[in-house]
């Protein structure tokens, strides 16, 4: 029976330690501040930014929200980003994705000052990560690395298989795992024999976004299983990509959904805001 990786608890410890760092900064008269931009009224995004604002409040990071109308133009969005870039009181800028389809999200991410890019989506930060340099790392991948660390899971020399190649999770996760000397394989919609590849994984990470797509036959005995998926069933229940009941019989470690990777993403965002603030002073 797998050991459950308690992301909720590790995220709480991370926030507590960050709060101490924030208190220390405040004693010097500095309060870290995050600006969040959301365009339109995507329901999932609303939940995400609410969680982010709550977490900021908990550790004492100031938070400001810019909710733009769904018909906002690219120029209006870029102008706001420039304004926040130039505002010395703002240490971190987060543009919540997705954006309405008429907007160019890559241009918007590139417009964010890379020193305030707490999501790690700017090409400069993506490039620095690929070179193994210190940078802002996308929050979900860095949260997963923290889960490994907190559970003494050494990925060096291990076969890591990642399901999903998104810019937010899959791709930066490849770099994070490579930087820790893992042998990394990434699978996606065009990959042949995903089951066979997954079964070779010492560490299997699913970031697909389909409920119960990872079944017991894809998991090697005693593999570590990390579930990035957050899927809402018709019943309203939130589940991951992994069939948890089956997988926990075979895995050595497993993350639950909710309470696994999700809380770590928010904790690592705060970590990046504090890091950005320290670099800016």
Tell me the two tokens of residue 71.
């018909």
The pairing of strands 238-239 and 231-232 is antiparallel
Position among 105, 168, 184, 228 found at the interface with ligand GUN (CB under 6 A): 168
Residue 135: CB minimum distance to ligand GUN, A: 16
Q: Contact between 119 and ligand GUN (CB under 6 A)?
A: yes
HSE of 257, CA atoms in CB hemisphere, 13 A = 26
**How big is the chain by its Cα radius of gyration, in Å?**
19
Q: Which stretch binds ligand GUN (CB under 6 A): 93-101, 125-133, 179-187, 199-207?
A: 93-101
Q: Contact between 139 and ligand GUN (CB under 6 A)?
A: yes
Burial of 43 (0-12, 13-18, 19+ CB in 10 A): exposed
Active-site residues: which are they?
52, 96, 119
Residue 169: CB minimum distance to ligand GUN, A: 8
* Contacts of ligand GUN in 170-199 (CB under 6 A): none
Q: Which stretch binds ligand GUN (CB under 6 A): 4-12, 89-97, 176-184, 240-248?
A: 89-97
Q: How many helices (H) and strands (E) does the chain have?
A: 10, 11
Please, which residues have CB within 8 angstroms of residue 246's CB and are 6 or more apart in sequence?
215, 216
Residue 109: CB minimum distance to ligand GUN, A: 9
Chain center to CA of 138: 5
The per-residue b/e assignment along 213-233, b for 16 or more CB within 10 angstroms, e otherwise, is bbeeebbbeebbbbbbbbbee
Q: Contact between 56 and ligand GUN (CB under 6 A)?
A: no
Residue 256 · residue 225 · CB < 8 Å: no
Tell me the two tokens of residue 155.
């990925």
Q: Contact between 272 and ligand GUN (CB under 6 A)?
A: no
Q: Which stretch binds ligand GUN (CB under 6 A): 92-100, 123-131, 190-198, 221-229?
A: 92-100
Closest CA to 279 of 141, 142, 136: 136
Describe the crossing of helices 261-280 and 43-59 by its angle, rounded to 10 degrees: 60
Q: Contact between 95 and ligand GUN (CB under 6 A)?
A: yes
Closest CA to 213 of 186, 193, 195, 200: 195
Position among 94, 118, 223, 225 found at the interface with ligand GUN (CB under 6 A): 94
Position among 96, 111, 135, 271 found at the interface with ligand GUN (CB under 6 A): 96
User: Residues in contact with ligand GUN, total (CB under 6 A)?
Assistant: 8
What gap in Å lies between CA 260 and CA 266, rounded to an integer?
12
Q: Which stretch binds ligand GUN (CB under 6 A): 53-61, 95-103, 174-182, 246-254?
A: 95-103
Residue 189: CB minimum distance to ligand GUN, A: 19
Q: Which of 247, 260 has the CB closer to ligand GUN?
A: 260
Residue 27: CB minimum distance to ligand GUN, A: 30
Residue 140: CB minimum distance to ligand GUN, A: 6
Q: Which of 252, 259 has the CB closer to ligand GUN?
A: 259
Footprint of ligand GUN (CB under 6 A):
94-97, 119, 139, 168, 265
């Amino acid at each position: 029976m797998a050991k459950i990786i308690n992301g909720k608890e590790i995220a709480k410890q991370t926030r507590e330690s960050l709060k101490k760092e924030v208190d220390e900064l405040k004693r010097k008269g500095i309060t870290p501040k995050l600006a969040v931009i959301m365009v339109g009224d995507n329901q999932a995004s609303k939940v995400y930014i609410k969680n982010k604002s709550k977490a900021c409040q908990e550790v004492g990071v100031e938070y400001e929200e810019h909710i733009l109308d769904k018909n906002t133009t690219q120029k209006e969005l870029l102008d706001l980003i420039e304004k926040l870039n130039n505002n010395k009181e703002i240490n971190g800028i987060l543009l919540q994705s997705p954006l309405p389809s008429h907007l160019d999200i890559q241009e918007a991410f590139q417009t964010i000052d890379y020193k305030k890019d707490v999501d790690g989506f700017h090409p400069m930060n993506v490039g620095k990560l690929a070179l193994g340099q210190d940078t802002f790392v996308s929050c979900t991948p860095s949260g997963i690395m923290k889960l490994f660390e907190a559970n003494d899971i050494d990925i060096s020399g291990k076969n890591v298989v990642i399901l999903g190649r998104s810019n937010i999770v899959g791709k930066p996760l490849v770099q994070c795992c490579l930087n820790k000397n893992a042998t990394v394989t990434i699978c996606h919609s065009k990959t042949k024999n995903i089951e066979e590849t997954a079964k070779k994984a010492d560490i299997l990470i699913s970031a697909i976004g389909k409920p119960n797509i990872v079944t017991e036959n894809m998991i090697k005995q005693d593999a570590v299983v990390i579930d990035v998926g957050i899927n809402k069933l018709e019943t309203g229940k939130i589940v991951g990509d992994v069939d948890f009941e089956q997988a926990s019989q075979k895995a050595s470690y497993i993350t639950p959904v909710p309470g696994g990777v999700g809380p770590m993403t928010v904790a690592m965002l705060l970590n990046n805001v504090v890091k950005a603030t320290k670099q800016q002073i």
